[in-house]
C-alpha cells in the first residue's frame, strides 16, 4: 500500500537545512512526514551528488542536516551507482538532489536509470528535496550555464508544474528568459538565496523564509507576482488552509 504523497522541498541553497524558526529546526518536520518516531527499520536518507561531481564535503553537510532531523541512516548515491546504492535509493524515505550543474546531474540520472526511480519514490511517498540545481531538476524544465552562449532548456522530472530559478534576485533574468522561451501558459518560480518553497500534494505553494517570485507567461507578456511566507512555517501536519494555489 502506497504512502500519501509528501511535499516537495525546493531550496535555493543549503542554509535552510540548518534554519531554525522559533525553537525548532525547519527540518524537524521530516520526523512527522516520514513517521521517524514509529519507523521500523529506521528512516533511510539518500543524497545524490551527481550535479556537483560527488564532492564528499557536500555529503557531510547533508548528514549534519539529517542529524538535526533525527535521521542517521544516510548514504551517498554516486554518479555511477552500484547495486547496493540502487537498493538503498529504492527504499529511501528522504532523497536530496544536490546543487551544482543541472545538466551534469540530469544526464547522470538518465544514463543510470535514476530518472524513473526518483519519480517512483515520489509517488510511493518519499520526501524529495532539491537544493539549487536539484530544485531546478524537480521542475518542468531547467538550463545549464556551463556552456557558451544562451543556455538551452531541457526537460527534467516535472514533479513541480513550473520552471524553477534560484538565487538570481532581484532581476531573475535567466528565469525570465526561460519562461519566455518555454512559451505561453508556462510558470516560473524564483527562489531567492536563503529561501525555499514547499509544493504540497494539493498543488499549493508555500514560500519558506523569504518571498518567492512567480512569473506567468500570458498573452505574450510576463506577469510578475510576489508570494509571501505564511506566518507559521510548515511543521509536517496536515494543513487546513492552503497558501497560493497553482491552477
- 209-222: buried (b, 16+ CB within 10 Å) or exposed (e) per residue? bbbbbbbbbeeeee
Mean pLDDT of 53-74: 96
Matching residue, cell 541553497:
13
Residue 138 near residue 157, CB atoms below 8 Å: yes
Mean pLDDT of 132-151: 85
User: Does residue 1 surpass a pLDDT of 60?
Assistant: no
Higher pLDDT, 129 or 241: 129
Q: Which three cell numbers stand for residue 157?
A: 522530472
Helix (H) or strand (E) holding 87: helix 83-91
In angstroms, rounded to a whole number, what is the distance separating the alpha carbons of residues 211 and 218? 22
Mean pLDDT of 64-72: 93
Residue 80 near residue 107, CB atoms below 8 Å: no
**pLDDT on residue 219:** 81
User: Does residue 85 surpass a pLDDT of 70?
Assistant: yes
**pLDDT on residue 36:** 65
% of the chain with per-residue pLDDT over 70 = 88
In angstroms, rounded to a whole number, what is the distance separating the alpha carbons of residues 162 and 140? 5
Which of the listed CATH numbers 3.40.630.30, 3.40.50.880, 3.50.50.60, 3.40.800.10 matches domain 8-239? 3.40.50.880
pLDDT band at 149 (very low <50, low <70, confident <90, very high): low
Q: Which three cell numbers stand for residue 178?
A: 526561460
Amino acid at each position: 500500500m502506497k504512502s500519501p504523497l509528501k511535499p516537495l522541498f525546493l531550496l535555493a541553497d543549503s542554509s535552510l537545512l540548518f534554519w531554525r524558526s522559533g525553537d525548532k529546526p525547519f527540518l524537524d518536520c521530516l520526523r512527522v512526514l516520514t513517521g521517524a518516531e514509529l519507523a521500523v527499520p529506521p528512516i533511510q536518507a539518500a543524497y545524490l551528488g551527481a550535479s556537483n561531481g560527488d564532492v564528499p564535503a557536500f555529503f557531510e553537510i547533508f548528514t549534519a542536516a539529517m542529524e538535526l532531523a533525527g535521521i542517521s541512516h544516510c548514504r551517498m548515491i554516486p554518479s555511477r551507482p552500484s547495486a547496493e546504492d540502487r537498493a538503498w535509493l529504492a527504499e529511501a524515505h528522504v532523497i536530496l538532489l544536490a546543487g551544482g550543474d543541472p545538466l551534469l546531474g540530469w544526464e547522470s540520472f538518465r544514463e543510470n536509470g535514476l530518472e524513473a526511480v526518483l519519480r517512483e519514490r515520489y509517488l510511493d511517498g518519499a520526501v524529495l528535496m532539491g537544493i539549487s540545481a536539484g530544485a531546478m531538476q524537480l521542475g518542468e524544465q531547467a538550463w545549464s550555464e556551463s556552456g557558451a552562449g544562451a543556455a538551452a532548456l531541457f526537460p527534467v522530472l516535472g514533479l513541480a508544474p513550473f520552471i524553477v530559478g534560484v538565487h538570481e534576485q532581484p532581476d531573475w533574468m535567466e528565469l525570465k528568459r526561460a519562461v519566455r522561451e518555454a512559451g505561453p501558459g508556462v510558470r516560473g518560480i524564483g527562489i531567492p538565496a536563503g529561501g525555499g518553497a514547499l509544493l504540497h500534494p494539493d498543488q499549493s505553494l508555500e514560500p519558506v523564509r523569504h518571498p518567492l517570485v512567480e512569473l506567468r507567461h500570458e498573452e505574450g507578456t510576463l506577469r510578475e507576482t510576489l508570494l509571501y511566507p505564511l506566518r507559521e512555517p510548515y511543521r509536517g501536519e496536515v494543513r487546513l488552509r492552503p497558501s497560493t494555489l497553482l491552477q
